[in-house]
Every structure is written in structure tokens, then in C-alpha cells.
Amino acid sequence: MKRSTSSSPPDQVFGAIADPTRRAILDLLREQSTLTAGQIAARFAAISRPAVSKHLRVLREANLVHAHEHGRENHYTLDAEPLGRIQRDWLNQFAPHWEQSLERLKHQAEAPRPRDEPE
């Protein structure tokens, strides 16, 4: 299969990562740079191979994984770029809110505590 050079819309990426099985597939490919469809399916004994293939198709359509043909097998690799784009274009906008929350927590943790009164 050919690698698509078009970018994935954020909703398509969010839809792809909304499913826990697809996130687990991405985790597998993060840990192992290349796996065949059979190797991926073997890690998910509770679901059928056709179901794993459907999950891989959703991930391919979101450009989160790419399939490379080697003989009769497809070897899958992770492409985290669409996730990085979401972080840069959307999630980073929330950083000031996180930083403010962390700053408040730091002040609370470092604030002097009232002493216990002797009984």
C-alpha cells in the first residue's frame, strides 16, 4: 500500500484514537517499529483478525500507521506526525491553563502550614 502524503483532519485522528484497541495498536507500534498484521492480531486474542484489520484500516485512513508490502504480508509502522500536529495546533493552546494550575498547586504545597496547637 502506498503512503498517503495528505494530512489527516483532526476529527479523523481523534476518531481513530477514541477506541482503546486502536490506542493499544499504536502503543505496540511505538514499542516495536514494524509489525505484520498477523503479529498485531496475535496480541489481541479476544478479537477476530478481521476486526483487527478494520482497526488497522481506520488507523491507516487517519495516517497514524502505514502499511508496507513485503511479499504477501503488510508490515505496519507508526506515524505519530498527525498526533504531533494536533498537539502543536490545538493542545498547546491549553498549556497556559495547565501552567496556571501547576503554579497554584506549587504555591499551595510550598505555603507554610499552621502549627498544631498543644493539647
pLDDT digits (tens, 9 = 90+) for 51-82: 999 999 999 999 999 999 999 999 999 999 99
> What cell numbers appear for 26 in the block?
499504536
Cell numbers representing residue 52 in the block: 483487527
CA-based Rg of the chain, rounded to a whole angstrom?
21
- Specify the CATH number of the domain 10-80: 1.10.10.10
The residue ranges of every structural domain in the chain are: 10-80
Q: Which amino acid is at 98?
A: W
In whole angstroms, give the CA distance from residue 67 to residue 73. Answer: 9
User: What per-residue confidence (pLDDT) applies to 117?
Assistant: 63
pLDDT greater than 50 at residue 43: yes
The top-scoring range by mean pLDDT among 2-16, 34-48, 80-94 is: 34-48
